[in-house]
């Protein structure tokens, strides 16, 4: 039986993804930031939680699907808000993925629940070219994203091409991570695919009541990416099961 880990599975789109994967016959390990019955406790910003989950899954024989769904959209815009957004949305997703990758079985699938707001159209000039550079490495990406809170603190982020939104940059960074990781995994004999999903605007605590999409609709593309057949794709960005431009 295939095993799927879903972060932030206690509510919203994550809960819908976990439910749908279970309905498709996968063994789902739902995780939640707060301790609650039936969930593995995983605050994606906590290294001890991430390490414990990795040990647990390795002991259980590995993982086939990882859905990095946990995320926040905070009010306000300053260096603190930026760091409190990047930590779960970008760095958390990256650390969880890195921790589970060694025990990922052949044919593994990694899904990043991103956003249409993660489009590179939000980034201007030379900065955009740096994100799009096909030679961008993991270290290079982390260093590039780290410039954002520093630029915000120094009051120069707009001049340097960044949007004035912590959430947007966190998803732009997550999308860039998908491209970098797909390149990193190119030679891996396990043929693991990594892709980003834009769920659309969904009725959740984050999306609000007036969002047009149901939870089921929002979960559809992440679930599709979690169950991709051998042929791929990998390293892409998808909405409604179709590739969209980064």
Of residues 101 and 111, the one with the C-beta less far from ligand NAP: 111
When binding is defined by CB under 6 A, the residue of 85, 195, 204, 221 that contacts ligand NAP is 204
CB atoms inside a 10 Å sphere around CB 130: 16
Provide, rounded to whole angstroms, the least separation between the CB of residue 203 and ligand NAP.
7
CA–CA separation, 184 vs 137, rounded Å?
Answer: 9
Segment interacting with ligand NAP (CB under 6 A) among 20-28, 103-111, 194-202, 233-241 = 194-202
Query: Does position 209 bind ligand NAP by CB under 6 A?
Result: no
Binding pattern to ligand NAP, positions 150-189, x when CB under 6 A? ----------------------------------------
Of residues 115 and 195, the one with the C-beta less far from ligand NAP: 115
Residue with tokens 């982020």: 157
Of residues 7 and 175, the one with the C-beta less far from ligand NAP: 7
> Which residues have C-beta within 8 Å of that of residue 235, sequence separation ≥ 6?
178, 179, 181, 182, 183, 194, 195
Query: Does position 44 bind ligand NAP by CB under 6 A?
Result: yes
Residue with tokens 């915000």: 152
- Determine contact, residues 34/59, Cβ cutoff 8 Å: no
Any catalytic annotation for residue 167?
A: yes
Q: 3-42: which residues touch ligand NAP (CB under 6 A)? A: 7-8, 10-14, 33-34, 42
The one catalytic residue among 167, 201, 237, 246:
167
Backbone angles phi, psi at 97, to 5 degrees: -60, -45
Q: At what angle do helices 138-154 and 79-86 cross, to 10 degrees?
A: 160
Which residues belong to the active site?
A: 167
């Amino acid at each position: 039986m295939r095993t799927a880990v879903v972060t932030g599975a206690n509510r919203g789109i994550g809960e819908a993804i976990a439910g749908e994967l279970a309905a498709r016959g996968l063994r789902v390990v739902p995780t939640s930031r707060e301790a609650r019955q039936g969930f593995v406790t995983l605050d994606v910003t906590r290294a001890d939680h991430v390490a414990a989950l990795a040990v647990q899954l390795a002991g259980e024989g590995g993982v086939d699907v990882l859905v990095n769904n946990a995320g926040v959209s905070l009010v306000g815009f300053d260096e603190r808000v930026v760091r409190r957004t990047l930590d779960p949305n970008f760095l958390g997703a990256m650390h969880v993925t890195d921790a589970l990758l060694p025990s990922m079985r052949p044919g593994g699938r990694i899904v990043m629940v991103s956003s249409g707001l993660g489009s590179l159209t939000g980034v201007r000039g030379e900065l955009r070219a740096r994100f799009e550079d096909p030679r961008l490495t993991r270290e290079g990406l982390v260093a590039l994203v780290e410039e954002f809170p520093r630029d915000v603190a120094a009051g120069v982020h707009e001049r340097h091409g960044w949007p004035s939104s912590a959430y947007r940059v966190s998803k732009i960074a997550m999308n860039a991570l998908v491209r970098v990781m797909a390149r990193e995994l190119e030679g891996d004999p396990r043929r693991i695919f990594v892709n980003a999903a834009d769920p659309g605007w969904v009725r959740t605590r984050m999306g609000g009541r007036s969002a047009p999409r149901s939870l089921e609709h929002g979960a559809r593309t992440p679930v599709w990416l979690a169950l991709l057949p051998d042929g791929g794709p990998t390293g892409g960005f998808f909405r409604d099961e179709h590739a969209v431009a980064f």
